[in-house]
Amino acid sequence: METLNIVYLVSAILIFSSIMASTLSARLGLPLLLLFLLVGMLAGEEGILGIEFSQYAIANFVGQAALACILLDGGLRTSFKSFRVGLKPAVVLATWGVFATVLVLGLFVTWLLDVDWRIGLLMAAIVGSTDAAAVFSLLRNGGVKLNDRVQATLELESGANDPFAILLVTGLIALNVDQNSQTLLGFVSLLAQQLGFGMLMGLLFGYLLSKMLPKLHLAVGMYAILIMSAGLAVFAATNLIGGSGFLAVYLAGILVGNNKVRATEHVLRVMDSFAWLSQAVLFVVLGLLVTPSNVLNVWHYSVAIAAFMILIARPIAVFSSIKPFGFKDREIGFISWVGLRGAVPITLAILPVMAGLPDAFLLFDIAFGVVILSLVLQGTTIPFMANLFKVRVPSNAEPDEEMEIWVSEQASITLYEFEVKPGAFAMGRHPLDISSSISEDEIAIFALIRNEKIVIVDQDTRLKYGDRVWYGLRGNHAAKIARIYNDIKLDRRSVEDFYGDWMISPNVRLGDLPFFDESVSSTPPNTKVTYDKEGSPVNMWQQTVAEFIKANLNTAPVPGDTVQINEEWSLIIKDIDDKGTLRTIGLKHY
């Protein structure tokens, strides 16, 4: 009994310490997942507590369950809107991209470690896929708003590439154990089985769960437990029949999350805690499992492999995967850089140890070092790289908080919170008198918070710096109100710096814009010429702005996309509706 209580105490202290360490994450600029790993390492056999933990089977069990929970939560928060711009490139990245990374990196590892090519490919397969936990955590909580195409592609790739990576690792382990056990036909058949059963189970049970939730009447906290248990059941059942449980649980989460009902909001709130707990437990356990001195002994291999993977193998794989989909070079560069590695490579590195391969511990220590380097180098530089590759879009047109309140099984009200920034247009105005373009029946005040206290709003109430106002809105006015509550000068400057000085309609003809009056009769130098179906050149000045953008973009448009008119002028997409129709375009002069 005493031993059991000691285990409870130590486990609770480790998780508590990991969560408390998160307060340092933003200050130090370190990824939170890295701090979880460090807590585990400090508690390990060469750390402060000296806990000896070498139970690879237990770590694998924890890792599989935690990753299933993380993928379920990631699926619940993945909007169908992401599929419009990111599905096809993400699928190619999750398959061919992983294979290309493993092939290129495997040749380098074979040469570097001077090992058999099968071991080299196995090492590359272990670190070949991006990690859902790392990507979801750093992209969604990193304070950087990315171009929708890039964000959707990265998130969908990280959620979908685990099955292929696991299959490669499993197949290569079998090939190392028995060279005659694997054939190309057998590998392709196994891949089809994994993906086929994974998709079938995920879509089937995701659909059934999404239809079942509205008919249930449970205590608020029970919905998330129900979804969690159902997700783990889908994960395990899919694995038992030979499919990919990770793919199945991710797809099931997507279907449940996009069929919103009253229960969905409760599920998302609680699942957020489950996902964070899973990440904390997983990374602490992996930190306990590793022996830091062993990782340091092979640090030069980890540095070389990480550098080659980040600078050569990943860019080759990404370029060959998504260039055909019309991605720009700067988008390809950023996606190449944010190939974050995390818990998945370490969890996969456990499998060779459990299989008893001769070089298994070497692979594990190198993989751990690669993950550390990836989290430090790539995880800490996401904001810088987003600016460098110009995939970051202004985020000052968003509410500070958003909360959905369900008033019936099928109807909900969304509340938005806005804080009055210094220099905001809203200062000194009544909360309902902030915009003449929003009618009284489209806006209602839910609460005004001043100095952490609720203030009763009357006719004489005027907004002050630091006030936080919760609105109930009808119509798409959240972005407009956010701009009113932000610093006017900073807001205008950031918008003008990014989108240009003029906002124009997508329906106006290029030739009708006053800036190009003298050039209507001819095509400016260095301007891309487009052709109609008969092969005749199209007079660009007769095209609308929307037609010109779509003719020159070669991919589904997203906010932040830039199309050059000539060397001096460009069009930048600012707003797009849910159907992909262009709404507002920025005109920028260089």
Question: Tell me, what CATH number does 558's domain have?
Answer: 3.30.465.10
Residue 213 CB-density burial (10 A; 0-12 exposed, 13-18 middle, 19+ buried): buried
Determine the structural domain holding residue 581 and report its residue range.
498-589
Residue 428, sorted as left (phi over 0), alpha (psi -120 to 50) or beta, turns out to be left
Asked, for residue 356, whether it belongs to a domain, the answer is yes
Is 246 inside any structural domain?
yes
User: In this predicted structure, what is the pLDDT of residue 143?
Assistant: 64
Instruction: Indicate if 533 and 413 belong to the same structural domain.
Output: no
Per-residue pLDDT tens, the chain, 590 aa: give them.
Answer: 566 777 677 777 777 776 676 665 555 555 667 777 777 888 777 777 777 777 888 888 888 888 888 888 888 877 777 777 778 888 898 889 888 999 999 999 999 998 888 888 999 999 888 877 677 766 766 667 788 888 888 888 887 787 778 778 887 887 777 666 666 677 777 778 888 888 899 999 999 988 888 777 777 778 888 888 999 999 999 999 988 888 899 889 888 888 876 666 667 777 777 877 787 788 788 888 888 888 889 899 999 999 999 999 999 999 999 888 888 888 899 999 988 787 788 888 888 888 888 888 888 889 888 988 888 888 788 888 888 888 887 766 678 888 777 766 667 778 888 888 887 788 888 888 887 777 777 888 888 898 888 888 888 888 888 889 898 887 777 777 887 887 655 555 566 667 777 778 888 888 777 777 545 445 555 555 565 556 566 677 778 888 888 877 777 787 878 888 877 788 888 877 767 778 888 888 77
Single residue among 341, 357, 389 that ends a domain in this structure: 389
Q: Is residue 38 part of a domain?
A: no
Instruction: Look up the pTM and report it.
Output: 0.79
Residue 242 region, left (φ>0) first, then alpha (ψ -120 to 50), else beta?
left
Residues 448 and 563 both lie in one domain = no
The answer to whether residues 224 and 250 belong to one domain is yes
Pair 216, 357 in one domain: yes
- Residue 253: how many other CB atoms lie within 10 Å: 29
Considering the domain architecture, whether residues 516 and 551 belong to the same structural domain is answered as yes
Both 368 and 409 in one domain: the answer is no
Residues 532 and 474 in one domain: no
Contact 194, 94 (CB under 8 A): no
Looking at 486, 514, 549, the residue that finishes a domain is 486
- Give the model's pLDDT for residue 104: 93
Is 395 inside any structural domain?
A: no
Q: What is the pLDDT of residue 181?
A: 61
Residue 159 lies in a domain: yes
Tell me the longest C-alpha to C-alpha distance in the chain: 89
pLDDT at 378: 84
pLDDT of residue 547: 82
Q: Which of 389, 414, 431 is the last residue of a domain?
A: 389
Count of domains for the chain: 3
Radius of gyration of the chain (CA): 26
CB-CB contact of 282 with 66 (8 Å): yes
**Is the Cα torsion angle 540, 84, 480, 563 positive or negative in sign?**
negative
Q: Are residues 247 and 103 in the same domain?
A: yes
> Is residue 216 assigned to a domain?
yes
Q: Which of 164, 157, 165 is nearest to 332 (CA)?
A: 157
Same domain, 429 and 507: no
pLDDT on residue 315: 93
| Residue 8, domain member (yes or no) | no
CB-CB neighbours of 154 under 10 Å: 25
Q: What is d(CA 61, CA 64) in angstroms, rounded to the nearest whole number?
A: 5
